[in-house]
């Protein structure tokens, strides 16, 4: 038979080579530089304009991103509604200070607020004198702030020394009251700030709003808000709020978190979800009308997809305000009568359509219009710049989607011809069977899949609706809780989107935020707790694209050996600050070999334009699965260096598993001579 005995040494070599190929050990261990070439045409008129809106953010109320996150409110379940309207109800996460011999706490439906009738009733049995003396610190209730059901740390109120906090609550009593309002450490022993509210019986015989400013004497990241008394009687509380005075532009957003957003200069913000918009059941979906008006009057709701209560302090108005504060265009996703488990029939969808129309009027209607007037009363007479709405989220495959969609589409087109509408159905590989301005495209996949999807839109039809890649991310084991590997794949994907930005007009990573006390989804771009924050490598990738929206994409051709995993693009843009023109080249080396990349920039007049290097920025790390953390928040972040020897022809070395950007300044030769001359003249 054709059987040959193979010597052991040959077998060993074969084994070694196969192992090397599967684990790419040649690249990791041995110097194995590869070479490639990137040809960039920078001549006038080369390439195409990139939409102003290309890169933005998607904010979803998930992982306590808003309630207990971006929205700086420190009290959770401030109206005691979270336990439901059946009395008596659970007042979680409120807790009681004192025992049943000193006070009885329950709920009733006596609130002065029509849309949230539940109030807390506190019957104090002890006093500061007589036979039954109250404990020295008094008895009452406390609120530890927000938490995750499975959290290891239950307290996330952060109180900072020297900062002021506005505490507001509503109170009623049958007798005079003396209430201590304080922030204290998690065990109640350390008092961080306190004030006393004293009112006569007649002052509080009806519901009365109390307001007090507390200035913190010390810092404590695990604090709680306490309402206590040493006076016998019955007191009702409702709508208890504690807000730091120091918020972004004074609008209620937590400074450190919103600055992470402002730093990536998002051109749009899609909100408020995601599945949060749909709900597991329609009765638990986010409904904008329930989220506007005075905060005290908002009923709040239980988001049954991500399984937590929100008081809706961050409501529709605040989302629009957030967009304005970030100088980003708002993209409102509304419920189209479809949740994960139930659907409104198309024949009865009109009330939902009217709700969407009213929502648009609220955002941009004249202050004299019905809903524009409500917005104006909330302090924003000028319309918000709402130009885009998404009709539902991920509902394309659902039975009533097309029927419902068309009802919304027709009504909105008629009332607001300029509003751009986004369909849930993917039009990247075939034409949609319904009219739309944009189609939504979501992708969560492995690193290698996403990297190869840098070509996803290469063959998409150039006519018809444009793509909005409103959710993308590497998930699963490649991603961990935010790995370099995931970020590199995403960088490759984004370069692909940038190169196809004639059809892809908007893109955003998802999810944006996670409160580390309540991880509902992994990974996320920004991780925080009560007082710390860091960006995952996926967040830092987005920094490389800050200049892309509104820039010009240059024609760039990559010539590489087919085994190399490189993706590259080149853009040019003019800065508004100093009116300079730059070229930025971005390259992802997804492989495990280092690469010597020769870059040639053509099309520039050698007599009038010179290229000089400004900086080279690299995102990489020792291990592919490296992540950032509270302990090491900057383990995987871009590093910048000065770019020496930059020219129209140059070679750069790309590290294995890296994302590199190179900024070149287009200098006018004649200008340089003039500047040099004037310098030498003045220095003589």
CB of 151 to ligand AHR, least distance (A): 20
Q: Which is nearer to ligand AHR, 59 or 309 (CB)?
A: 59
Among 148, 252, 273, 383, binds ligand AHR (CB under 6 A): 273
Q: Which is nearer to ligand AHR, 394 or 490 (CB)?
A: 394
CB of 17 to ligand AHR, least distance (A): 42
Q: Which residues pair with 513 in a beta bridge?
A: 526
CB of 154 to ligand AHR, least distance (A): 25
CB of 644 to ligand AHR, least distance (A): 42
Contacts (Cβ under 8 Å, ≥6 apart) of 460? 427, 428, 429, 467, 500, 503
CB of 316 to ligand AHR, least distance (A): 18
Among 274, 315, 482, 537, binds ligand AHR (CB under 6 A): 274
Does 521 help bind ligand AHR (rule: CB under 6 A)? yes
Contacts (Cβ under 8 Å, ≥6 apart) of 335? 277, 278, 279, 282, 285, 286, 287, 352, 392
Contacts (Cβ under 8 Å, ≥6 apart) of 363? 316, 320, 330, 332, 375, 383, 384, 386
Q: Which is nearer to ligand AHR, 371 or 513 (CB)?
A: 513
Among 511, 535, 537, 656, binds ligand AHR (CB under 6 A): 511
Tokens of 431: 């034409």
d(CA 209, CA 206): 10
Q: Which residues pair with 242 in a beta bridge?
A: 167
Q: Which is nearer to ligand AHR, 47 or 330 (CB)?
A: 330
Answer whether 619's CB lies under 8 Å from 541's CB.
yes
d(CA 226, CA 519): 27
**Exposed, middle or buried, 631 (CB in 10 Å: 0-12/13-18/19+)?**
exposed
Q: Which is nearer to ligand AHR, 444 or 573 (CB)?
A: 444
CB of 363 to ligand AHR, least distance (A): 22
* Of residues 374-413, those binding ligand AHR (CB under 6 A): 393-394
Among 50, 60, 383, 535, binds ligand AHR (CB under 6 A): 60
The stretch near ligand AHR (CB under 6 A) out of 140-148, 181-189, 273-281, 668-676 is 273-281
The stretch near ligand AHR (CB under 6 A) out of 118-126, 270-278, 551-559, 600-608 is 270-278
Total number of residues that touch ligand AHR (CB under 6 A): 11
CA 294 to chain centre: 25
Answer whether 24's CB lies under 8 Å from 590's CB.
no
CB of 475 to ligand AHR, least distance (A): 9
Between strands 139-143 and 220-229, the pairing is: antiparallel
Helix then strand count (H, E) for the chain reads 12, 35
Q: Which is nearer to ligand AHR, 471 or 547 (CB)?
A: 471
Q: Which is nearer to ligand AHR, 60 or 73 (CB)?
A: 60
Answer whether 310's CB lies under 8 Å from 301's CB.
yes
Q: Which is nearer to ligand AHR, 178 or 428 (CB)?
A: 428
CB of 273 to ligand AHR, least distance (A): 5
Does 61 help bind ligand AHR (rule: CB under 6 A)? no
Tokens of 293: 């008006």
Answer whether 59's CB lies under 8 Å from 319's CB.
yes
Which residue's Cβ lies closest to ligand AHR? Answer: 274
CB of 456 to ligand AHR, least distance (A): 18
Contacts (Cβ under 8 Å, ≥6 apart) of 593? 24, 26, 27, 32, 33, 34, 564, 656
d(CA 556, CA 569): 6
Using alpha carbons, select from 334, 326, 439, 438 the residue that is nearest to residue 384: 326
CB of 392 to ligand AHR, least distance (A): 10
CB of 228 to ligand AHR, least distance (A): 40
Q: Which is nearer to ligand AHR, 170 or 271 (CB)?
A: 271
Q: Which residues pair with 167 in a beta bridge?
A: 212, 242
Q: Which is nearer to ligand AHR, 47 or 279 (CB)?
A: 279
What Cα–Cα distance (Å) separates residue 137 from each residue in 106, 161, 214?
Answer: 21, 22, 18
Q: Calculate ∠ Cα 358-361-367, nearest 5°.
A: 130
d(CA 611, CA 676): 16
The stretch near ligand AHR (CB under 6 A) out of 154-162, 267-275, 401-409, 618-626 is 267-275
Q: Which is nearer to ligand AHR, 434 or 442 (CB)?
A: 442
Q: Which is nearer to ligand AHR, 491 or 510 (CB)?
A: 510
CB of 551 to ligand AHR, least distance (A): 27
Q: Which is nearer to ligand AHR, 438 or 521 (CB)?
A: 521
Which string of x and - marks every residue 554-593 that binds ligand AHR (by CB under 6 A)?
----------------------------------------
Among 73, 395, 471, 518, binds ligand AHR (CB under 6 A): 471
CB of 394 to ligand AHR, least distance (A): 5
The stretch near ligand AHR (CB under 6 A) out of 74-82, 268-276, 482-490, 550-558 is 268-276
Q: How many CA atoms lie within 13 A of 404 on its CB side?
A: 29
Answer whether 556's CB lies under 8 Å from 600's CB.
no
Which string of x and - marks every residue 606-645 that binds ligand AHR (by CB under 6 A)?
----------------------------------------
d(CA 591, CA 656): 6
Q: Which is nearer to ligand AHR, 122 or 436 (CB)?
A: 436
Q: Which is nearer to ligand AHR, 60 or 437 (CB)?
A: 60
Between strands 220-229 and 157-159, the pairing is: antiparallel
CB of 646 to ligand AHR, least distance (A): 40
Contacts (Cβ under 8 Å, ≥6 apart) of 669? 607, 608, 609, 610
Q: Which is nearer to ligand AHR, 401 or 416 (CB)?
A: 401
Q: Which residues pair with 612 in a beta bridge?
A: 665
Phi, psi dihedrals of residue 675, rounded to the nearest 5°: -65, -45
* Of residues 491-510, those binding ligand AHR (CB under 6 A): 510
Among 50, 70, 214, 275, binds ligand AHR (CB under 6 A): 275
Enumerate binding residues for ligand AHR (CB under 6 A).
60, 62, 273-275, 393-394, 471, 510-511, 521
């Amino acid at each position: 038979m054709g059987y040959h005995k193979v010597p052991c040494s040959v077998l060993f070599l074969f084994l070694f080579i196969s192992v090397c190929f599967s684990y790419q050990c040649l690249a990791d261990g041995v110097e194995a530089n590869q070479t490639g070439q990137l040809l960039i045409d920078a001549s006038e008129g080369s390439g195409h304009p990139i939409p102003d809106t290309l890169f933005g953010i998607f904010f979803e109320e998930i992982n306590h991103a808003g309630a207990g996150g971006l929205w700086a409110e420190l009290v959770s379940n401030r109206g005691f509604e979270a336990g439901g309207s059946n009395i008596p109800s659970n007042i979680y996460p409120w807790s009681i200070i004192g025992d049943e011999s000193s006070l009885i706490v329950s709920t009733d439906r006596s609130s002065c607020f029509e849309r949230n009738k539940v109030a807390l009733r506190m019957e104090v049995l002890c006093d500061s004198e007589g036979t039954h003396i109250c404990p020295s610190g008094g008895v009452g209730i406390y609120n530890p702030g927000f938490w995750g059901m499975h959290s290891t740390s239950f307290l996330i109120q952060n109180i900072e020394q020297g900062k002021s906090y506005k505490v507001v609550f509503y109170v009623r009593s049958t007798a005079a009251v003396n209430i201590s309002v304080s922030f204290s450490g998690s065990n109640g022993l350390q008092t961080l700030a306190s004030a006393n509210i004293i009112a006569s019986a007649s002052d509080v015989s009806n519901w009365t709003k109390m307001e007090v400013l507390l200035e913190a004497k010390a810092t404590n990241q695990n604090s709680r808000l306490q309402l206590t008394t040493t006076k016998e009687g019955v007191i009702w509380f409702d709508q208890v709020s504690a807000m730091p005075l120091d918020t972004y532009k004074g609008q209620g957003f937590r400074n450190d978190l919103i600055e992470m957003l402002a730093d990536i200069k998002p051109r749009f913000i899609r909100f408020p979800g995601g599945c949060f918009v749909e709900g597991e059941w329609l009765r638990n979906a986010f409904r904008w009308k329930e989220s506007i008006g005075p905060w005290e009057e908002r009923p709040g709701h239980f988001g049954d997809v991500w399984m937590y209560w929100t008081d809706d302090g961050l409501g529709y108005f605040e989302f629009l305000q957030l967009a304005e504060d970030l100088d980003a265009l708002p993209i409102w996703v509304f419920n189209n009568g479809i949740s994960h488990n139930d659907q409104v029939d198309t024949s009865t969808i009109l009330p939902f359509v009217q709700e969407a129309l009213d929502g648009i009027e609220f955002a941009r209607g004249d202050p004299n219009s019905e809903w524009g007037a409500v917005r104006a009363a909330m302090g924003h007479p000028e319309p918000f710049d709402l130009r885009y709405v998404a009709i539902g989220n991920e509902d394309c495959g659902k039975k009533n989607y097309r029927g419902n969609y068309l009802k919304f589409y027709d009504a909105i087109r008629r009332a607001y011809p300029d509003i751009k509408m986004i369909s849930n159905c993917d039009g990247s590989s075939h034409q949609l069977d319904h009219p739309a301005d944009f189609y939504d495209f979501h992708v969560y996949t492995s690193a290698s899949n996403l990297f190869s999807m840098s070509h996803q839109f290469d063959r998409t039809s150039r006519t018809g609706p444009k793509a909005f890649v409103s959710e993308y991310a590497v998930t699963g084991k490649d991603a961990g809780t935010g790995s370099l590997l995931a970020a590199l794949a995403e960088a490759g994907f984004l370069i692909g989107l940038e190169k196809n930005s004639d059809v892809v007009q908007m893109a955003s990573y998802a999810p944006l935020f996670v409160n580390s006390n309540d991880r509902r989804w992994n990974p996320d771009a920004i991780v925080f707790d009560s007082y710390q924050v860091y960006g995952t490598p996926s967040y830092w990738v987005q920094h490389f694209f800050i200049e892309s929206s509104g820039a010009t994409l240059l024609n760039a051709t990559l010539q590489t050996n087919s085994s190399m995993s490189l993706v590259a693009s080149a853009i040019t843009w003019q800065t508004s600050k100093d009116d300079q023109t730059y070229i930025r080249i971005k390259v992802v080396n997804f492989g495990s070999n280092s690469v010597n990349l020769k870059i040639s920039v053509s099309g520039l007049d050698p007599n009038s334009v010179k290229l000089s290097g400004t900086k080279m920025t690299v995102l990489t790390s020792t291990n592919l699965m490296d992540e950032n953390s509270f302990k090491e928040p900057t383990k995987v972040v871009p590093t910048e260096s000065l770019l020496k020897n930059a020219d129209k022809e140059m070679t750069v070395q790309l590290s294995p598993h890296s994302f590199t950007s190179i900024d070149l300044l287009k200098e006018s030769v004649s200008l340089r001579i003039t500047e040099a001359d004037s310098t030498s003249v003045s220095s003589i």
